[in-house]
Amino acid sequence: GAVVSQHPSWVICKSGTSVKIECRSLDFQATTMFWYRQFPKQSLMLMATSNEGSKATYEQGVEKDKFLINHASLTLSTLTVTSAHPEDSSFYICSASDRGRGDTQYFGPGTRLTVL
Amino acid sequence: QQQVKQSPQSLIVQKGGISIINCAYENTAFDYFPWYQQFPGKGPALLIAIRPDVSEKKEGRFTISFNKSAKQFSLHIMDSQPGDSATYFCAASENDYKLSFGAGTTVTVRA
């Protein structure tokens, strides 16, 4: 149980285009989803927290207009990187938790974004 | 500013040996301390977690030791195997909400 999927697993795009990454909780309802980015050989950096049906809360220094997060249902959250640039190239990872069942965060497999 | 300090940055252990990773925190409001294992190109996977009301928790070859007064906790990997070679992250949260991660420890188990 507690499986989280991400799609796509990797994406390459041209500078200036937008990319959407999906995060799904497959066998539980995620009241809260988190989005992280991770640079090579570094730790996970929290970008934003989203609760189903409400606006995401962004961490300090994260541009909300560049990283659009939508948590429209209890099983799906999306991260859209708008007008992507090479410096946005990173490993993006989502996690999901069900606050009614103990709050453990279950992580997705990650999405490797490369912006050319 | 990292709220959880993790050491060492990397370690090498022989097969069958013990790997020990240490973490320290300052925020006394933290009440949940999980450890995650991450393989290259994959997302982190929850390994084991502890709350401050116990001093030790064991699951298979993995043990967390927790010292509330010292604000430290550690992960022990007993009988280390080559398949344990990965990056390990400690983390902490307050009221089971946002996780603060340590910097990570890369463990290499030599056969």
Residues B42-96 pLDDT 10s? 999 999 999 999 999 999 999 999 999 999 999 999 999 999 999 999 999 987 6
Task: Mark yes or no for CB contact A107/B43 under 8 Å.
Answer: yes
Closest Cα of chain B to A83: distance in Å? 25
CA A16 to chain centre: 20
Task: Mark yes or no for CB contact A43/B101 under 8 Å.
Answer: yes
Is residue B4 within 8 A of residue B90, CB to CB? The reply is: yes
Residues B24-39 pLDDT 10s? 999 999 999 999 999 9
Q: Average pLDDT, stretch A66-85?
A: 94
Report which of B47, B43, B19 is spatially closest to residue B109, judged by C-alpha positions: B19
Q: Confirm or reject contact between B99 and chain A (CB < 8 A).
A: yes
Percent of chain A predicted with pLDDT > 70: 96
pLDDT at A101: 66
Closest-approach residue (CA) in chain A for B94:
A103
Q: How far apart are CA A109 and CA A91, in angstroms?
A: 10
pLDDT at B96: 66
Q: Write out the two tokens for B33.
A: 């301390």
pLDDT at B1: 65
Q: Confirm or reject contact between B103 and chain A (CB < 8 A).
A: yes
Closest Cα of chain A to B36: distance in Å? 10
Task: Mark yes or no for CB contact A109/B43 under 8 Å.
Answer: yes
> DSSP labels for A52-88?
TTS--EEPTT--TTTEEEEEEETTEEEEEE-S--GGG
DSSP symbol at A7: E
Chain B residues close to A110, C-beta within 8 Å: 41-43
